[in-house]
Amino acid sequence: MMKQPLLSVEGLEVVIRQKNKVVPVVQKLSFQIEQGEVFGLVGESGCGKTLTCLSLLNLLPAGIHKTGGDICLDGKAVEGLAAEKWRQLRGDRIALIMQNPMSAFDAIRTIGDHFIETLRAHGKTDTKAATAIAVEYLERVGLPDASLLLRQYPFELSGGMLQRVIIAIALAQKPDLIIADEPTTALDATSQVQILDLLAEVRREFGTSILLISHDLGVIARLADSVAVMYGGQFVEQAAVADIYAQPLHPYTQSLMNARSSIGLPRRKRLSLLPMAATEISNGLTSACGFAGRCPHVSSACRETAPSPVKVNTSGHWVRCLNAGSAQAEVV
Ligand SMILES: Nc1ncnc2c1ncn2[C@@H]1O[C@H](COP(=O)(O)OP(=O)(O)OP(=O)(O)O)[C@@H](O)[C@H]1O
């Protein structure tokens, strides 16, 4: 029997329902994450990364709905799970690490209160045993003097330390998949590198799969095996990280390559793009390419035809661009 991927997403669609219109914000996304794989999702602010993660966890805010697609964990559909089953799945199987670590904590409760309550909510154990587990995992993520730390309040810790605490809480539940949504964005440069190195260690030591979300291709390059580039609610290019570095084909991927941080590899020549128009996110459903308004290589065909994904190689590299070949020539 063929081995199932840990997570499989097929044709995911999410919309925002407003008074008299429906705005598609995630359009027909498909991807798979194998056990122990780090899958990167990269794209600029507002392209739909967070709503994609939240739909995987059945946590979409009011007014935002999943309207299509299948999500399977170990080959089993999660659609229609009862609320209690979703609660178990979140934490026990999939843990979420968000952008701003401070916002994950209640300011008037200690780190120990947060840690132990989470463990107990997932039926792990009594308070004494939960405390021992908390100390063990805080030490494993490199936080010294864990017993003292459990008595401290969130404001007494730096952003980098709080993000480590969140990772420790997640790991203590032994999830199969960690969704890390911009886990380093709110941190200083040194803490960013440390948290990425910690996630790499977590994958090595625990075999945990990671869905790593970032607006920065440099962050993705440091950790991920494969990457999907998202623009206006769609994937525009997908490949192994090494392939996308060797041959970035979509003009938007090329602009991300040039904008990446020093955490990744050296910059190349900068491509200038027009800013994203507010309406652009819904363009994917029109007959034009959603990127046409910003693309330095736009042709008349791009304004008439929405490009379909084109396979580039046999190891999963594909691109959604009518002019991918000429765009590449500009960058190299
Ligand atoms: N609660 C909400 N109500 C209305 N619109 C929303 C809500 N959350 C997100 N959106 C809109 O949906 C689109 C996708 O948002 P999403 O947060 O997924 O983007 P993102 O890529 O994660 O960006 P960022 O990196 O800034 O979080 C954006 O246009 C955003 O304005």
Q: Given this model, what pLDDT does residue 87 score?
A: 87
Q: Which of 45, 50, 181 to mutate to test the pocket of ligand 1 (most atoms within 8 A of CB)?
A: 50
Q: Show the beta-strand stretches assigned E in 258-325.
A: 310-311, 318-319
Is the distance from the beta carbon of residue 309 to the nearest atom of ligand 1 less than 6 Å? Answer: no
Atom number of ligand 1 nearest to Cα 62? 1
Confidence band for 325, pLDDT divided at 50, 70 and 90: low
Q: Given this model, what pLDDT does residue 21 score?
A: 87
Is 316 within 8 Å of 227 (Cβ atoms)? no
**In this structure, which residue's CA is closest to atom 28 in ligand 1?**
46
Residue with more model confidence, 167 or 123: 167
Q: Ligand 1 centre from 82 Cα, in Å?
A: 26
**In this structure, which residue's CA is closest to atom 1 in ligand 1?**
61
Q: Given this model, what pLDDT does residue 272 score?
A: 46
Q: Which of 21, 25, 98 to mutate to test the pocket of ligand 1 (most atoms within 8 A of CB)?
A: 25
Distance, in Å, from the CA atom of 21 to the CA atom of 142, rounded to the nearest integer, reads 49
Whether residue 134 has pLDDT greater than 60: yes
Helix (H) or strand (E) holding 210: strand 209-214
Highest-confidence range of 108-117, 139-148, 179-188, 283-292, by mean pLDDT?
108-117
Q: Given this model, what pLDDT does residue 284 score?
A: 44
Confidence band for 260, pLDDT divided at 50, 70 and 90: low
Query: CB 75: neighbour CB atoms within 10 A?
Result: 12
Is the distance from the beta carbon of residue 157 to the nearest atom of ligand 1 less than 6 Å? Answer: no
Q: Ligand 1 centre from 15 Cα, in Å?
A: 11
Segments in 33-188 forming alpha helices (H):
49-56, 83-92, 111-121, 127-140, 146-150, 159-172
As a whole number, the mean pLDDT across the chain is: 86
Atom number of ligand 1 nearest to Cα 278? 29
Is the distance from the beta carbon of residue 25 to the nearest atom of ligand 1 less than 6 Å? Answer: yes
Query: CB 279: neighbour CB atoms within 10 A?
Result: 11
Q: What is the pLDDT of residues 275-285, one digit of tens each?
A: 444 444 444 44
Q: What is the pLDDT of residues 186-196, one digit of tens each?
A: 788 888 888 89
Distance, in Å, from the CA atom of 326 to the CA atom of 102, rounded to the nearest integer, reads 45
Helix (H) or strand (E) holding 195: helix 189-206
Supply φ then ψ for residue 46, to 5 degrees: 90, 0
Q: Given this model, what pLDDT does residue 171 score?
A: 87
Domains detected in the chain: 7-93+177-184+209-331 (3.40.50.300)
Distance, in Å, from the CA atom of 81 to the CA atom of 93, rounded to the nearest integer, reads 14
**In this structure, which residue's CA is closest to atom 5 in ligand 1?**
16
Confidence band for 14, pLDDT divided at 50, 70 and 90: very high
Confidence band for 95, pLDDT divided at 50, 70 and 90: very high
